[in-house]
Chains A and B, each alone.
Chain A
């Protein structure tokens, strides 16, 4: 099979094929009612924390800025509901530690219309204006990494970008939010793509979609055609929707660029070194909706799914909604849930409690019951038998077997210096395939963290 895919000349090498379990691929996106309270953590993205600009007891309307950023690698937050600021202080986060958050009590019967916003006309705007406007929306990568979008779309001075790659792969099992967004919000997506192209100076955009979602490509192609017919619309051949092979982790930008163009992004480099910028479909669809209206990001599409959910589906969830509220509405009987995963099953993190809120980077809420985890329960960890399954599946071409043995001996420096630990992006393929059930990627996370701390201490 490997040989075959090599000669077909498609996709990246290695990777895995977990069962897709896309339960909600045909379910329309639905809207979730407001919870009684929303919790907006200040740390929702990579980068510095913004600081709150509201006071306890202050009335806010939906869409009003409540936290402002001064640092370039940081974004503002907007009130997800109309209500009263009840508390500003520490609240539990998904990772476990309590972090600084703004709690807003919603007015009963408050509308879900955005009440705040200054519609803008971008017809004559420069790339810099558009970037500033993107910054003001508080947009971060909605695919899960939560990297501030304006920073990602900023092209370094010496570089030139010719291609915008739009990532519609959604290779994680269970998740369908990007899929449904592509099908239902294709027009917004095309608008967003055009803004991003103007911001970066790209002359073409290519939407890469895994080939298990042909309906998404059809929807995007139809939207491109519609946009082409409108006055001043998209010139033909500017935006493409292409299928790439279904394989995990196709959604990684390096793998997607490999699948589309057959080039490897140099190690340690960014796609911009090849003249490309990669962005997620969910992010660009939200941009296409928010930018002309001049509004902020107050809600996102979240896939609520898993064997423990009675009414799985993709829901538009106000940011800051506690998971408990989401699960009540999706019909998850709280009693037999054993594990709640924020994101997909390959890279998502376990929620420490039901009171943690949905943040900008949460693409899915996955509920696993005891019996779904049973297959993992009795598994025994053997020593590494050197079966080479992990070497055959690592998309980055590392040697996880060797790294795992070094990690067990705590040889972290050696791992980083000679075995390219820094290239690992923690996709989890090695742990997924390991027949000995060695927690490889989990050990690598620890090793990378220790190396980071050492690097900081050395400074």
Chain B
């Protein structure tokens, strides 16, 4: 008989890294499915290629011993799907593959793999292609094109190392205005046209090139938060602070600034807030820190969108937030039990407890006599500092 010696605790909770990552992937599937329904074959091809590129890079990096973890932990799948969702649907596939490769290699493996990455890998990949292929990444095509399940968007099939052709001719052949495909943010920024609420939310009424459905993302994020695979504080802080800043500016000058609703539901803010900023490794672990981090990202997003030359600011806001998160964590360490101001003053917290004062004996009696009074303990000063003989 062999007896094992272990150090307590001897039982283990149900959660594992694989389980968390798997649930995030599952929760992304409805969002991806609707995205494919919006944009057809090209979106599907883009997702498959980008995810496979991420997985291949991850496998290769693990092989060469550059990083911990493996493709079996599902984290590379999340990176791939999020990256594909943040790219235009007609993004050339070879560029998508490059983005996936850069995301994992530069964004993750270089730092040591899962858990060690400083920046969200998907956003590192996207930032790279934004800089490398500015024209391709700004080319959006309209959603709900007729025949989207039969043919790809021509730019998708651009041969490797080639620049994509313009889609204007292709769209004109379909009797569509080339500008119909602009994103709501670009339209507002460059033409001053505000999209309607129903267009933003469902995008079913027109051909506007909205991204993945914000309503679906919120629903899937709510599932994750409910199962506690994601922290609800970060999206709440981001959306709250972005909404508040946008509302303040809107109240100052309604002609110059769009309404807060447009700000929240256009572009990638919801996707970024729910799925990208909440990347565990790149966000603070402390509850207070999560609020600060989220508020900062929301504020930066609005500022970049309004004042910079770019229509979209979520990506840079989150990357900046990622860079600041170790610092935020450092200044928002939790207060240990017994060291809060409450403990120092000796105040009893929240009414539903026994009074410390022994004059009142039972809980019922205490509440009957003085329901609102907070009792000070009759503690002798500095008693705990006395040596116990």
Residues of A within 8 A of B (CB): 6, 8-10, 12, 16, 18-19, 72, 96, 151, 154, 156-160, 162-163, 173, 203-204, 206, 237-238, 240, 242, 254, 258-270, 272-275, 334-335, 337-341, 343, 345-354, 366, 368, 373, 375-376, 379, 382-389, 391-392, 395-399, 401-402, 419-420, 423, 426, 428, 431-437, 439, 441-442, 445
Contacts and interface: CB of A to CB of B under 8 A. Distances in A.
A28 B5 CA distance: 31
Contact of A162 (B20, B358, B363): B358
B17 A445 contact: no
B167 interface: no
Interface in B339-359: 339-340, 342-344, 346-356, 358
Interface stretch (B8-16, B139-147, B191-199, B235-243): B8-16
Interface string B236-273: 00000000000000000000000000000000000000
B388 A10 contact: no
B331 to A, nearest CB: 12
A16 B9 CA distance: 13
B362 A156 contact: no
A419 B339 CA distance: 12
A433 B13 contact: yes
B9 A261 contact: no
A70 B40 CA distance: 85
B336 interface: yes
Contacts of A72: 389
Contact of A160 (B3, B350, B380, B387): B380
Nearest to A389: B15
Given A204-B361, A348-B10, 4 more contacts: A162-B358, A388-B287, A396-B336, A435-B20
Contacts of B386: 156-159
A165 B68 CA distance: 49
B389 A156 contact: yes
Q: Nearest 8 A-B pairs (CB), nearest first?
A: A262-B353, A428-B9, A9-B350, A383-B115, A273-B384, A267-B338, A264-B343, A162-B358
Contact of A337 (B3, B112, B338, B384): B3
Contacts of B378: 160, 162, 275
Nearest to B233: A388
Contacts of A341: 8, 10
B10 A386 contact: no
A339 B335 contact: no
B106 interface: no
A310 B65 CA distance: 48
B3 A338 contact: yes
A24 to B, nearest CB: 17
A437 B343 CA distance: 33
A343 to B, nearest CB: 8
A275 B346 CA distance: 12
B333 A399 contact: yes
B280 interface: yes
A350 B356 contact: no
A317 B351 CA distance: 43
B3 A242 contact: no
Most B Cβ at <10 Å: residue of A237, A383, A385, A386: A385
A382 B68 contact: yes
A35 to B, nearest CB: 19
Contacts of B11: 18-19, 173, 345-346, 376, 432
Given A9-B350, A265-B343, A267-B336, A382 B115 contact: yes
Interface of B is mostly: loop
Contacts of A347: 8-9
A142 to B, nearest CB: 19
Interface string B368-389: 0000000001111011101111
Contact of A379 (B12, B281, B286): B12
B339 A10 contact: no
A335 B3 CA distance: 10
Most A Cβ at <10 Å: residue of B355, B377, B378: B377
B19 interface: yes
Nearest to B386: A156
Contacts of A258: 337, 349
A366 B377 CA distance: 41
A8 B353 CA distance: 10
A203 B4 CA distance: 48
Contacts of A151: 388
A405 to B, nearest CB: 10
B281 A262 contact: no
Most A Cβ at <10 Å: residue of B5, B287, B340, B351: B5
Contacts of B358: 162-163, 203-204, 275
A206 B5 CA distance: 38
A206 B356 CA distance: 12
B221 to A, nearest CB: 16
A280 B231 CA distance: 37
A389 B13 CA distance: 11
A420 B7 contact: no
B4 A345 contact: no
Nearest to B348: A262
B111 to A, nearest CB: 10
12 contacts: A72-B389, A261-B348, A267-B338, A268-B384, A343-B8, A354-B3, A384-B115, A386-B281, A388-B280, A401-B285, A423-B338, A428-B9
B5 A352 contact: yes
A349 B10 CA distance: 9
A334 B3 CA distance: 10
Contacts of A163: 356, 358
Contact of B12 (A340, A386, A397, A432): A432
Contacts of A419: 333
A435 B19 contact: yes
B330 to A, nearest CB: 9
Contacts of A261: 348, 353-356
A272 B385 CA distance: 11
Contacts of A383: 68-69, 112-116
Most B Cβ at <10 Å: residue of A254, A270, A273: A273
B6 interface: yes
Nearest to A352: B5
B13 A274 contact: no
Nearest to A366: B10
A338 B114 contact: no
A442 B380 CA distance: 37
Contacts of A368: 10
Contacts of B379: 273-275
B380 A237 contact: no
Interface string B81-122: 000000000000000000000000000000011111000000
Nearest to A443: B7
A339 B115 contact: no
A340 B348 CA distance: 42
Nearest to A238: B361
A12 B12 CA distance: 22
Contacts of B114: 382-383, 385
